[in-house]
Amino acid sequence: MHSSSSPEISIELRAATLALLCESDAAVKVSGTRALFDSWSRGEVRLDADAVLLAEGSVPGRPALPQLVSPREVAHRSMGTAEGRAAMVHAMAHIEFNAINLALDALWRFEAMPSDYYADWLQVANEEALHFSLLAAHLQTLGFCYGDFTAHNSLWDMAEKTQHDILARIALVPRTMEARGLDASPAVRAKLAQAGDMGAAGILDIILRDEIGHVLTGNRWYGWLCQQRGLDPLETYALLANQYKAPVLRGPFNLDARRAAGFSEAELDALRS
């Protein structure tokens, strides 16, 4: 049990999370996130859900490389070359690096949520950190490092737009931007396997399994927030997607993965309409 009434425990979850979010060294962010999860699991971290925290550093902290460019400027390379496969693995590693930051941000930024909310996003951050580690290590076997290719920032852009409203954040980051990963995963995995990179394909299998859980977490808290506010989930989603100019989702959709991640048949019908 993680109690907010244990002042003798010096580490407070949300403050520690904010410090990790501001960390610019990718390796330190990853190891720190995994260590915080382990400490929390052992009951060595307290939670102050009601603290109003302010970021002093720049959010999120990120390394000098990769250079961030617009999505249109990210180079597309052939999967038939080692460099092309490395570029694809690098793009996935960058998504996972952003995903660590997104989970950490959901944790520190929004106060007065149930303790399960914070525990859920800490687990997500821990799993995203594992994914990043697996991809970064695989990238090195291909002769490259994280930062060697350009990358884009559209995932974090949506986080910035929704920083003042937890409902919009949960609706449009895990349930929209990250759910797109469920749709994209099978095609990317097939390309990597076809190119003979079974190591990367195996990592994608792990990521897809975990990401279903992450989107399920998003759906769980979106449903909870809609219930708290007396809102219809489908109507509210359409309004938020329009208000924040969320990307229009185009198929093919991974309907099995989306069902496993907690989307209702009505939501899946709305996607396909």
- Domains parsed from the chain with CATH numbers: 13-272 (1.20.1260)
One-letter amino acid for residue 14 of the chain: R
CA atoms within 13 A on the CB side of 110: 24
Q: Are 92 and 74 in contact (CB under 8 A)?
A: no
DSSP 240-265: HHHHTTPPPP-S---HHHHHHTT--H
Assign 68 to helix, strand or coil.
strand
pLDDT at 261: 98
Per residue of the chain (273 residues), give pLDDT as tens: 454 545 578 999 999 999 999 999 999 999 999 999 999 999 999 999 999 998 877 789 999 999 999 888 887 778 888 899 999 999 999 999 999 999 999 999 999 999 999 999 999 999 999 999 999 999 999 999 999 999 998 888 899 999 999 999 999 999 999 999 999 999 999 999 999 999 999 999 999 999 999 999 999 999 999 999 999 999 999 999 999 999 888 889 999 999 999 999 999 999 887
pLDDT at 3: 46
User: 78 vs 60, 87, 111, 195, CA distance in Å?
Assistant: 31, 9, 45, 10
Locate tokens 């809609």: which residue? 226
